[in-house]
Amino acid sequence: MTFGRPFQVAAVVATSLLLAACQAPTGLSQGRQLGVGSDKARPQVQQSAARTGIDVPLAWGGQLRCGKEGCRLVAVEHEKSTVVLYEVQGRQARLLDRQPVAYHPDGAIWLADDLVVAAVEGSFSLDVFRVVQGRLQLLQQIPIGISPRDVVLVQGSEGRFRLLATPYSGKEVVWVDYAPDQPDATRVQRALWCEAPWHPVRVHRAPGAPYGGVVTACLDEKRVVFVPEGDLLGVARNLVAVPGEVRIVPRQTRPSPSGRWLYVALETGGRNLRFDMDSGELQWIAAPLLGTVSVLPLADDLVIWAADSRLYFQRLAGDGAVLETRWLPVDGFATGLQLVDADVDGVQDLVVYNSAALPKKMGVEIIYGPLWEQAQPNMP
């Protein structure tokens, strides 16, 4: 496997974008809890947002979890073939452990406060680690027969977990039923979806499927597919397919907090889209840059998009028209975005996972809220 695919957007985005992260970091906000309140009720002043940079080279994936052990970050160092564990406390990050895995780990998530799973290309496996006294101890390596790009926790209760692994390339996805206390009972099942189904996500509703299911962008096909909750092993059906000659390259999908809208980041074309999960309406959203790599909705009408070395926030009208755009520089190619209260102050913060960082820049950044008000009105 190569690590060139995350650079597809960078190839079409102007070289000047790479200079943005060299400027002083500016901020974001999220008022009330997310900073999405009326701008008329607060001064129109942008302030620099505090941030913590964590040196995780080529952070293709990771997750910050705040639980009974405090806030801990698990992430992968893609090119170094390691899984790392950090403690995040008082806006400081401290390395707890670093463990080697096979060639090119692509993602890592938490299953519980003391349980981590990493998707590893070279070993065609999901590697499960137990966190014991701040150390990562390999618990089990689950062979899945594909080189996984992503691993997602779809269901979990009473120590039993249903995981979804999707491939770096190819159409085959793998469902894994796993219980750490019963490793011999691990069940692996396969299904065919679409070519390069990257970054799947759980949704709670979709047209014709009131109980939701799983959605993924098909990076190498002109569509987004959906598998309903009641038939997760069934055939993936088209959810978003653009007719005619319009060429889209869907990179990532994420639902809005209410579940009404599914936002789709498009790798090319200078626009993105959102899909109404009730009516099936598709809306095009104008983008200020040529390509977008990831997306994170903060509300139904407020969304963060990531491009090379930049995040941009858009507040949208009901028809998808852009009402306002604000900006924030980041340290690289922001493949992953996560919303979490990292400093436990009651305000949501933004964790950015840069799958490719600029020289001497950070692979993981925690940008502390409030978010929207502190973002800048002009492109950095």
Q: Which residues of 155-165 are buried (b: 16+ CB within 10 A; e: fewer)?
A: eeeeeebbbbb
Q: What is the pLDDT of residue 350?
A: 98
Backbone angles phi, psi at 250, to 5 degrees: -70, 125
The answer on pLDDT for 62 being more than 70 is yes
Q: How confident is the model at residue 19 (pLDDT cuts 50, 70, 90)?
A: very low
Q: 285 pLDDT exceeds 60?
A: yes
Whole-model pTM?
A: 0.87
The two tokens of residue 266 are 């498009």
pLDDT in tens, 338-355: 999 999 999 999 999 999
Q: Do 196 and 167 contact (CB within 8 A), yes or no?
A: yes
Tell me the two tokens of residue 11.
Answer: 């190839």
pLDDT for the residue 45? 37
- Residue of 66, 43, 134 lying closest to 349 (CA atoms): 66
pLDDT(214) > 80: yes
Angle CA(304)–CA(332)–CA(343) in degrees, nearest 5?
Answer: 60
Q: Of all helices (H) and strands (E), which one includes residue 335? A: strand 322-340
Closest to 127 in 3D by CA, of 61, 69, 204, 205: 61
Q: Which is nearest to 351 in space by CA: 332, 330, 371, 365?
A: 365
pLDDT in tens, 319-341: 999 999 999 999 999 999 999 99
Q: Is the pLDDT of residue 46 over 50?
A: no
3-state secondary structure (DSSP) of residue 240: strand
Q: Is the peptide bond before 329 cis (omega within 30 degrees of 0)?
A: no
Mind listing the pLDDT tens digit for each residue in 134-174? 999 999 999 999 999 999 999 999 899 999 999 999 999 99
Cβ–Cβ under 8 Å, residues 302 and 291 = no
Residue owning tokens 């070395």: 309
Q: How far apart are the first and last CA of the chain?
A: 34
